[in-house]
Amino acid sequence: MKTRFASFLIAAAATFVGLLPSANAQAAGYTQTKYPIVLVHGLFGWDTIAGTVDYWYKIPDALRADGAKVYVTQVSAANSTEVRGEQLLSQVKQILAITGASKVNLVGHSHGGPTARYVAGVAPELVASVTSVGGVNRGSDFADAVRGVLPDGSPLTAAAKTLVDSTLVALIQTLSGNGQLPANAEAALVSLTTAGSNAFNKKFPAGIPTTACGEGAYVVNGVRYYSWGGNKQFTNLLDVGDAALGLTGAFFNGKANDGLVSSCSMNLGQVIRTDYKMNHLDEVNQFFGLVNIFETSPVEVYRQQANRLKNAGL
């Protein structure tokens, strides 16, 4: 009797499982958006260094594996939002020419968020959606603190700009094969301050919340806006970047932040979540995947967003 009952359960389970799609069937086309996905890095970012060190660690391949067409762009590692935006616009047009697509889905991390918003603002007909990841949409308290130490016109500011442009930025852009891009660390800093962000938002208000920490318009000029990000600084004992983000996070006076951007500043359009247990580097799966093991993998969050875009017909 027990043997017959066990056999019955096994058969029933097999029948039930047979009615469900397999894992492979579920994954097939999961990230296959209608329009190409274009990734836009943040401050001091790159596409790939020496062909081996990716800014978007393992993210493009994970998206491509299930159907997405993904393009990784390179704009100035440090410059104003407008300069970076024009560089991105040029690359978007190239991607559209190559693919034959009519629009793209822009995904920007950190300063890449406003950079993507610039393109959506000046050429909405080319953009299906903007997803801001840890985006500096209302400025950064840390940038405000740095600007307080390096005010406009100060000799110290001029010296710091020259040093950063000629060393860190030059190194990043040279190693990534983009040494010809213009660098201006002070312009980048101004863009990332609260004052600079507010000035930019007056020109490009699409998706910006009208309340302190709310959501913004979901769709403006045919462009869909999304945002997500983290609110932790220390997430992995092995990640050398966590200590630095812990220090920079102290400048936010108790406000939830990822080490460089407050959670409320990240909000744009439809807010997916800004309380992932991730820091600013975790949001792009850095440092080499050393992220919070008790939180959803950043790679999976990007896959989920691609699926969200797919289901929205984008």
SS3 271: strand
62-88 in b/e form (b: 16+ CB < 10 A) is: bbeebbbbbbbbbbbbbbbbbbbbbbb
Please report how the helices 185-192 and 141-149 are oriented relative to each other, as an axis angle in degrees rounded to 10: 130
176 given a catalytic annotation: no
Name the catalytic one among 258, 262, 263, 265. 258
Two tokens, residue 96: 């559209």
258 given a catalytic annotation: yes
Q: Any idea what DSSP says for residue 252?
A: G
CA dist 229 and 276 (Å) reads 6
Please report how the helices 81-99 and 185-192 are oriented relative to each other, as an axis angle in degrees rounded to 10: 90
Residues 6 or more apart in contact with residue 9 via CB below 8 angstroms: none
Residue 305 has φ and ψ, to the nearest 5°, of -65, -40
Q: Any idea what DSSP says for residue 205?
A: -
CA dist 60 and 47 (Å) reads 11
**Beta carbons of 214 and 266 less than 8 angstroms apart:** no
109 given a catalytic annotation: no
Name the catalytic one among 110, 140, 191, 265. 110
**Dihedral in degrees, nearest 10, Cα atoms 6, 8, 9, 12:** 160
SS3 56: coil
Active-site residues: which are they? 110, 258, 280
